Amino acid sequence: MSVPSLPPSLFLGLALLFPGLAGAATLSVTVNDAAGRPLSDAVVMLEPASGRLPVKPMAAVEVGQAARQFTPAVTVVTVGTPVNFPNHDTVRHHVYSFSPAKTFELKLYAGVPATPVVFDKPGVAVLGCNIHDQMAAWIVVVDTPHFARTAAGPAQLAGIPPGTWRLKAWHPALPADMAPQATMVTVGTDDQAATVRLATRVTP
């Protein structure tokens, strides 16, 4: 018995299942410091040149405290995301942010605060602890579904439709309260790479 060949209509059906992927490209973004060295923990995002794309709040995001440090130090969330701040230490912490992106205070507490903090505006919230001056963390709130971060290699922004985009990049080494730095990029149908140099603080 011979194997029947697939009807052409099946192939058409498979193509229609993924219309959003047709022609979408991956943009690899390297973020360098002022001296041209690549930065890890940089946050990159793509916004449309005009208008905005719908975003969904993320679920189950945590910025914990352990060994008197925030963990992780840098967190990226979409607008509207609730964030929990569980304290895993035996000492109490007093977590706050005075940043315009989100001003809040979780007064001296142990364990898990009863309600999460909702990050409802785009921007960067700088976190501190009133008790432990060395504790610092950053929550980057993005108003786009296209975001990524650098690690050992470039940040990978996948599934980007062709067009002109505003590429924004941010890193904790930028001067305090400096907004993400923007540049325009044109994305085609092929994968491509971009490099952003940030005016980071000079480190000795």
Build a one-symbol-per-residue string for 100-139: x at contacts with Cu ion by CB under 5 A, - elsewhere.
Answer: -----------------------------x-xx-------
Near Cu ion by CB under 5 A, which window of 80-88, 92-100, 110-118, 176-184?
Answer: 92-100
48 or 113: CB nearest Cu ion: 113
Exposed/middle/buried for residue 50 (C-beta within 10 Å: 0-12, 13-18, 19+): exposed
**Beta strands 117-119 and 81-84: pairing type?**
antiparallel
CA 85 to chain centre: 18
53 or 131: CB nearest Cu ion: 131
Minimum distance between the CB of residue 129 and Cu ion, rounded to whole angstroms? 3
List all residues 6 or more positions away from 63 whose beta carbon is below 8 Å from its beta carbon: 70, 71, 72, 75, 83, 84, 85, 127, 137, 139
Build a one-symbol-per-residue string for 11-50: x at contacts with Cu ion by CB under 5 A, - elsewhere.
Answer: ----------------------------------------
Q: By the 8 A CB rule, do 179 and 41 touch? A: no
Per CB under 5 A, residues contacting Cu ion are: 93, 129, 131-132
